[in-house]
Structure 1
Amino acid sequence: MPAARATGPRGDALLDVATEHVRRHGIERTTVVAVARDAGMTHANVYRYFPSKEALVDAITGAWLKELEAALQGVTDAPDPADDKLERLILAYARLWRDRVESEPNLAALHLAAFAAGRLVARRHRQRLRTLIDRILEEGVSASLFRLRSRDRTATVMLDVLHRFFDPAAVAADGAVPREEIDARVAAATRLVLRALHAGLL
């Protein structure tokens, strides 16, 4: 399926309209015709920017994932010690996903579908997350804070441990669990990961 073309101001405005439609109505009730009407263009013109509804959905999904990645990038670029940064990144990632699922259920449904289907937008996000984690792990090793047997193995096991708080479907499944309980579980899992990294157990 062709990817969305570079948008420019009109394409960005179209994306904003489409995002609002999904937010209010959900993806099943969002149509290209309705989006085009509210954007002040023909539905045929929409396809100049997004060659299919699927491409439009990917663009909506990717826009929020980029915001999420920017927040994580800010944590990674901070001058703090690596163990502090890793803790902040884990807690921020879990919190932002939970916030999304709670506050924007219709938009969160796009993310769940993208990850469940292994769509390119989701795979790229997972790779960017892994790159940021790898950077922090390397910093920790360089500063003698972390002891790693294998960086790849360590990152993989760490993500396995945190899966319940990082995977959109798992976050959604825990929607009825009180927020304070989830926060306590994330904090406990994070402490276990950090202890293992300090001790060279991963």
Structure 2
Amino acid sequence: MIDDFAKEYLHNELRVRREVMVWKLDGLSEYDIRRPLTLTGTNLLGLIKHLSLSESRYFGEVFHRPFPEPMPRWDDLEARGADMWATEEETRDEIVDRYRRVAAHSDATITALAIDSPGYVPWWPRPNVMLFNILVHTVSETSRHAGHADILREQLDGSTGTTAEYASSQRDPAIWEALRTKIEQAAKLATGKA
């Protein structure tokens, strides 16, 4: 009974996080979803492209259920890093649609297998895993990138939250600036720099 509960709970968490990732693109221009917003080039569309590749591997080849479309292999050193950004030829719809197809493939794998079904992750130091391990790992990774996406989106237009329903309302910029000033002052006082 706990196995079924754990599997469904983790699967649902993954579904929710996927929708958060896609929602972060809503209402943004092609430029804004693609442009690098950190020193390392992190961008919203690249995060979704990366999660597509990652999830296709974890719920595909790890359980001998390869995703049916061509994807770079985990050991393709020349392709490393290319999943973190979109080329000018790749469209938003193409990347989001692929993410949804990967999700459907992953969902089929999760549904078909028991939570203790064995898998093999050749790029991990301890490669013998169960579906449980991969569910926890993928929920964690998707949640991590959803946090990145939240910060990136906030940088672009001040929007935060996990869905349109729970998004923070756009506050007056003066309110945000007053809060930032208060936090900056506390940081300075804590270090004796005020």
Q: Tell me the TM-score normalised to structure 1 length.
A: 0.27
More helix by share: 1
Structure with more relative contact order (C-alpha pairs < 8 Å, separation 6 or more): 2
Q: Tell me the TM-score normalised to structure 2 length.
A: 0.28
